[in-house]
């Protein structure tokens, strides 16, 4: 009995401590809502008042176990129930209180802790406890639900652990020194770098080699983007840790202390990170920055060309212009993440905006410690099993200020994005560190930096997981090198080594061997051209003759640059697709080149279970594609404007033959409708991953099938955009991208007929207006039905009104409009996984291609109700019979065979078999499609004082719906025959003054009355 009592007391003590710890977590999260954050997980373990509930919980649990051991099951059951209720209700309340990605998690943590605490205390007040068997049953159920919930919590978060399967780098050669003006190295988070680090020796060798090759003062420079000294920055001179801090800093300063680097004044720019602030705010952190600045001042006195940018306590930006075409802005992100008032933050963004606007035609590179995007632990939330889920909860709830989803960090990123929009152009590069890895990413949204570099593997290595926008990543020590060429091009080279060579240990001989092997193991692991040549090469003396001493590629602009502020152009609103082909290779004048689309979608087994296999296997398949010849196609192509932007913008050309041509990149960024209750950060990643469902180049097969059916639509051709100076301002955003080139289905300049022989071509909105006002204008509904059956055949579910254009033909006294389909991005998509099942709950048409046609009602859209209003059941039957007769087995096989051979080897049999099976099912599908359209009536009003809708039975099987405007005797504006059951004549009156429908409906149809002002929906 005594042993049992001791055991119960021990369990009660632990349980009380856990209750207290949950309350402690809630306090951390609640404080974060008021800008009092945790800087690192180590803060949770420090002695601080927020841990007081843990102590109180331990004491309370111990006393309860000693004095009332029999109530322990009852108290535990009530506590778990309160926790469950709070966690269930909290996200809803959190989403209402705090409008950010972390708000819902914060609500769950805070209200879950309140529910746990309230239910636990309330249970102690209840004297009459239910019978023991009931307590036991409820306790076991609560315990089971708690354990199941925690297990599910861990399992579901495993889906975020994507294997790091980045595509093979399309290597570019390192340019000759004669073609280079300047070289800039990025070495972030080198705070633990020592003289026994092979990385330091490798970087020193590179610095020396380039300094000797360029032979110009400050032609070589090194940027240290923060966390220069671990773990707490440079402490005071009288602190026992100061010698170690100083040694770590000077190890990095000495990287530019070699003979050639000293001779040619190699420059070092240091930027502060959170560890350089000692993970503090206010005066305590500011003292560490002052100490860092003091050490750098001493280094300058000793002959090292180093400086702290921006100066201690100044958020920046500090501006340095490099050559004629690049401006670099340094700023202190940790300054911003502290408790700053609104005016200070506003002033910071005003200064940054001024720096961007005054950059003229220069490309801008931003340098800070905290990254703009990251696939490492600070950006991609750590899995739920780390630290028993504690770190995960704190990060998701926004309590960790150093993570991208914290409210303070989110405010910084939102402010940067607003600044980029206000300035009228996104930066070329945003370079940072913070996560201990090497990453190359592309911007995820409009006006994001075109390239995001994370160079934080100077002395530590952390993991990476696949995230949207990650072009390449390495879990290895290393640094980055930006090469600025005389022709204004900018190349990136990532140098990485083996993780086992982060540092060398052992005896002197072992260290020597390790250092030699380790330094030799560092090599270029990724390279790409970030900016192609734009101007005629000039000597460096010509570049700086008016602004700086000859032979110096760097100069400082203390006053605003006098160049005019650029105005926003169409290129500024484009969402860039990832580069798929190395720019250098495109300068060799190749007719064809082997490339992948430029984006891969790897996933492990668990992620595939949730997100699906999709068409992931096709996105990494190299295919041989034509390089677009701008001088030959259409008699010569001239870039005109960009279009799109939400799912990766395209580029429009004018041609000498009078047509316009559209280039649409293969890689898309997802932007379908998402429920508001799903966190933006989560939905963005999930939806972007679902883009892997698309079938690259599937549009070429659909065009062949359309041609066989007599449907006139653009015939897309897969091409690679050349790195051609004729692209002008669009060169950086489109050169090296893989996409589909097609004639824009539009009218033609001059007196010649336009696309498809039509003299006039309009969009769907213009058609709707014409049909309302011109009674002689009609739609060729059978042709539209034929096009919709083809959509179902190839599984193209994304066919909104913007995917159609309409060509005009004359037929006697009438004007007939015939459909022109375009944009076949989702043809032959493969959609599976649990996410797809959930998605169909709010987007039913989200179905893919298989050997079975989906239910027709899922694919019916608003346009179908408007444009198929006069067709009868027999019309659909005739259309389907014609399609089945025209799409013979040989026609289907020939259409599939237009795919690249590399795709045919993997998909030919599946596509041919699937198309034949779906063709044979078209009869049932067409009939179901007709019934889905016929049983849902959309009537469009015309802003009259009284519109009358009449439904009358004309036979046992058929009903006629008629809309008259201006009363029962007014003109007919709409009429169609419907399949239905026996019913009586019904009239509906729209009372505009009351804004309501008056009357009764007793029909087997859903009826919607939509007035003119709503018709565009």
**pLDDT band (50, 70, 90) for residue 469:** confident
pLDDT interval class at 538 (50, 70, 90): very low
Task: Please say whether the beta carbons of 76 and 14 come within 8 A.
Answer: no
Of the ranges 560-574, 610-624, 653-667, 888-902, which one carries the lowest mean pLDDT score? 560-574
CA-CA distance, 736 to 665, in Å (whole number)? 10
What's residue 336's pLDDT? Answer: 84
CB atoms within 10 A of CB 609: 17
The encoded tokens of residue 716 equal 């897309």
On the question of pLDDT at 572 being above 60, the answer is: no
Q: What pLDDT score was predicted for residue 405?
A: 73
Beta strands in 305-410 (DSSP E): 305-308, 318-322, 326-330, 363-367
What is the pLDDT confidence band of residue 520, given thresholds at 50, 70 and 90? confident
Residue 585 has pLDDT above 70, yes or no: no
pLDDT in tens, 919-932: 999 999 999 998 88
Q: Give the Å distances, CA to CA, from 125 to 119, 232, 672.
A: 10, 48, 51
> Residue 256: which pLDDT band, with cuts at 50, 70 and 90?
very high
E-state strands within 461-553: 470-474, 478-485, 490-496, 523-531
pLDDT band with cut points at 50, 70 and 90 for residue 909: very high
Most confident of 65-79, 824-838, 886-900: 886-900
Is-contact 102 38, C-beta < 8 A? no
Please answer whether residues 786 and 678 qualify as being in contact, where contact means their C-beta atoms are separated by less than 8 angstroms. no
- Return the number of other C-beta atoms located less than 10 Å from residue 967's C-beta: 12
Mean pLDDT of all residues in 795-817: 88
Tell me the pLDDT tens digit for each residue of 327-348: 899 999 988 887 677 788 888 8
User: CA distances (Å), 70 to each of 13, 73, 83, 410, in order?
Assistant: 14, 7, 21, 48
The candidate with the shortest Cα–Cα distance to 321, out of 492, 527, 562, 495, is 562
SS3 837: helix
- Of 975 and 642, the one with more pLDDT: 642
Q: Is the pLDDT of residue 974 over 70?
A: no
Region label for 612, one of left (φ > 0), alpha (ψ between -120 and 50) or beta (otherwise): left
Give me the pLDDT at residue 564, please: 31
Between 777 and 883, name the one with better pLDDT: 883
Q: Which residues contact 103 (CB under 8 A, 6 or more apart)?
A: 94, 95, 97, 398
Distance CA 733, CA 729 (A): 8
Highest mean pLDDT among 564-568, 685-689, 903-907, 983-987: 903-907
């Amino acid at each position: 009995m005594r042993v049992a009592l001791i055991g119960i007391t021990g369990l009660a003590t632990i349980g009380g401590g856990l209750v207290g710890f949950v309350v402690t977590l809630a306090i951390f999260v609640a404080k974060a809502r008021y800008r009092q954050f945790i800087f690192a997980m180590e803060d949770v373990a420090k002695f601080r008042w927020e841990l007081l509930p843990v102590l109180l919980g331990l004491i309370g649990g111990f006393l309860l176990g000693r004095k009332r051991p029999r109530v322990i099951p009852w108290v535990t059951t009530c506590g778990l129930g309160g926790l469950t209720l709070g966690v269930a209700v909290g996200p809803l309340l959190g989403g209402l209180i705090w409008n950010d990605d972390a708000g819902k998690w914060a609500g769950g943590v805070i209200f879950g802790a309140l529910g746990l605490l309230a239910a636990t205390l309330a249970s102690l007040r209840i004297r009459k406890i239910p019978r023991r068997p009931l307590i036991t049953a409820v306790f076991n159920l609560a315990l089971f639900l708690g354990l199941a919930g925690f297990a599910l919590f861990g399992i579901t978060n495993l889906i975020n652990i994507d294997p790091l399967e980045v595509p093979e780098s399309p290597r570019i050669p390192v340019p000759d020194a004669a073609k280079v003006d300047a070289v800039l190295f990025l070495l972030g988070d080198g705070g633990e770098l020592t003289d026994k680090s092979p990385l330091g020796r490798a970087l020193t060798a590179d610095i020396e080699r380039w300094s000797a090759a360029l032979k110009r003062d400050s032609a070589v420079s090194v940027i240290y983007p923060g966390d220069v000294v671990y773990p707490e920055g440079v402490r005071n001179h009288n602190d026992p840790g100061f010698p170690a801090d100083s040694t770590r800093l000077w190890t990095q300063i000495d990287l530019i202390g070699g003979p050639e680097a000293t001779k040619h004044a190699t420059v070092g720019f240091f930027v502060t990170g959170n560890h350089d602030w000692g993970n503090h705010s206010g005066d305590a952190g500011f003292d560490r920055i002052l100490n860092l600045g003091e050490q750098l001042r001493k280094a300058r006195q000793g002959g090292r060309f180093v400086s702290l940018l921006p100066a201690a306590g100044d958020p920046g930006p500090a501006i340095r212009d490099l050559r004629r075409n690049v401006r670099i802005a340094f700023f202190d992100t940790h300054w911003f993440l502290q408790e700053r008032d609104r005016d200070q933050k506003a002033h910071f963004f005003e200064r940054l905006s001024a720096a961007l606007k005054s950059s003229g035609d220069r490309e801008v590179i931003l340098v800070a410690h905290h990254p703009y995007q990251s696939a490492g632990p600070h950006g991609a939330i750590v899995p739920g099993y780390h630290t028993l889920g504690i770190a995960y909860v704190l990060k998701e709830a926004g309590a960790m200020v150093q993570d991208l989803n914290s409210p303070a960090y989110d405010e910084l990123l939102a402010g940067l994005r607003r600044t980029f929009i206000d300035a009228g152009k996104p930066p070329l590069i945003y370079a940072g560190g913070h996560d201990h890895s090497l990453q190359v990413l592309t911007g995820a949204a409009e006006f994001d930096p075109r390239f995001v570099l994370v160079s934080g593997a100077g002395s530590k290595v952390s993991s990476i997981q696949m995230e949207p926008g990650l072009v390449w990543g390495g879990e290895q020590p290393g640094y980055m090198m930006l090469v600025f060429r005389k022709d204004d091009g900018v190349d990136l080279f990532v140098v990485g080594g083996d993780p086992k060579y982060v540092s060398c240990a052992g005896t002197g001989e072992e260290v020597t061997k390790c250092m030699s092997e380790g330094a030799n193991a560092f090599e270029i692991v990724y390279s790409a051209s970030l900016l192609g040549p734009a101007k005629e090469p000039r000597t460096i003396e010509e570049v700086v003759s008016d602004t700086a001493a000859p032979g110096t590629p760097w100069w400082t602009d203390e006053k605003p640059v006098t160049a005019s502020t650029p105005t926003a152009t169409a290129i500024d609103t484009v969402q860039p697709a990832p580069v798929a082909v190395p720019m250098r290779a495109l300068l060799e004048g190749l007719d064809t080149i082997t490339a992948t689309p430029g984006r891969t979608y790897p996933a492990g087994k668990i992620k595939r279970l949730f997100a699906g296999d999709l068409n992931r296997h096709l996105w990494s398949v190299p295919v041989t594609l034509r390089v677009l010849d701008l001088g030959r196609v259409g008699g010569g192509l001239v870039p005109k404007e960009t279009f799109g932007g939400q799912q990766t913008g395209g580029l429009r050309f004018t041609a000498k033959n009078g047509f316009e041509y559209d280039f649409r990149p293969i890689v898309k960024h997802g932007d379908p409708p998402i429920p508001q209750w799903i966190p933006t950060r989560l939905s963005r990643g999930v939806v972007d991953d679902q883009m892997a469902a698309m079938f690259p180049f599937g549009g070429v097969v659909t065009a062949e099938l359309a041609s066989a059916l007599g449907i006139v639509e653009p015939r897309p051709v897969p091409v690679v955009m050349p790195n051609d100076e004729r692209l002008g301002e669009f060169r950086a955003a489109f050169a090296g991208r893989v996409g589909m080139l097609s004639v824009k289905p539009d009218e033609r300049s001059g007196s010649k007929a336009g696309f498809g022989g039509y003299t006039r071509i309009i969009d769907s909105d213009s058609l709707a207006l014409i049909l309302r006002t011109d009674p002689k204008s009609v739609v060729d509904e059978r042709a539209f039905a034929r096009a919709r059956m083809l959509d179902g055949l190839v599984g193209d579910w994304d066919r909104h009104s913007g995917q159609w254009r309409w060509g005009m033909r004359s037929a006697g006294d009438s004007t007939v409009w015939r459909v022109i389909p375009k944009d076949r991005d989702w043809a032959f998509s493969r959609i599976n996984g649990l996410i797809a099942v959930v998605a169909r709950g709010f987007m039913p048409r989200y179905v893919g291609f298989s050997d079975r046609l989906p239910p027709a009602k899922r694919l019916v859209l608003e346009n179908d109700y408007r444009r198929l209003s006069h067709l009868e059941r027999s019309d659909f039957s005739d259309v389907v019979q014609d399609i089945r007769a025209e799409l013979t087995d040989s026609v289907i096989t020939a259409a599939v065979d237009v795919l690249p051979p590399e795709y045919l080897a993997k998909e030919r049999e599946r596509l041919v078999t699937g198309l034949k099976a779906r063709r044979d099912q078209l009869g049932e599908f067409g009939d179901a499609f007709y019934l889905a359209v016929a049983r849902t009536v959309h009537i469009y009003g015309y802003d009259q004082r009284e519109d009358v809708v009449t439904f009358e039975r004309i036979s046992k099987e058929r009903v006629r719906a008629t809309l008259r405007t201006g009363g029962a005797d007014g003109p007919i504006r709409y009429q169609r025959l419907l399949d239905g059951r026996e019913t009586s004549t019904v009239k509906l009156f729209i009372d505009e003054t009351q804004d309501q429908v008056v009357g009764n409906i007793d029909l087997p149809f859903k009826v919607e009355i939509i007035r003119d002002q709503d018709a565009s929906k």
